[in-house]
Amino acid sequence: KAGVTQTPRYLIKTRGQQVTLSCSPISGHRSVSWYQQTPGQGLQFLFEYFSETQRNKGNFPGRFSGRQFSNSRSEMNVSTLELGDSALYLCASSHRSRVGTEAFFGQGTRLTVV
């Protein structure tokens, strides 16, 4: 079955612009989470969506927002981009089964802000 798909794979944006990243989860998975990965901070949780509702949010400014659609696809938006937003953005889809919750990640979107 198809894995988690993130688009685009690479983006170059200018400070002050906004950007939208997309994530298509594994079919049947209703939970989608977003993470930011930088060399200095490692992987940090941004937010989690389940059935179109934000269930959890990390410690990021309000410039970072997201949403989930009825087909479980999710988008993440960053407004007024700053140089420090340059990072690999990873999306994970997950579901709970009798063996517990397991997350599967996409290949990420590499965002460079110049």
**Phi, psi values for residue 75, rounded to 5°:** -125, 150
> At its nearest, how many Å lie between another protein and the CB of residue 18?
24
> At its nearest, how many Å lie between another protein and the CB of residue 94?
5
Q: Which residues bind another protein (CB under 8 A)?
A: 4, 6, 31, 33, 35, 42-43, 45, 48, 50, 55-56, 58, 88, 90, 92, 94, 96, 99-108, 110
Nearer to another protein (CB atom), residue 66 or residue 106: 106
Are 43 and 92 in contact by the 8 Å Cβ rule? The answer is no
- Burial label, 37 (beta-carbon count in 10 A; 0-12, 13-18, 19+): middle
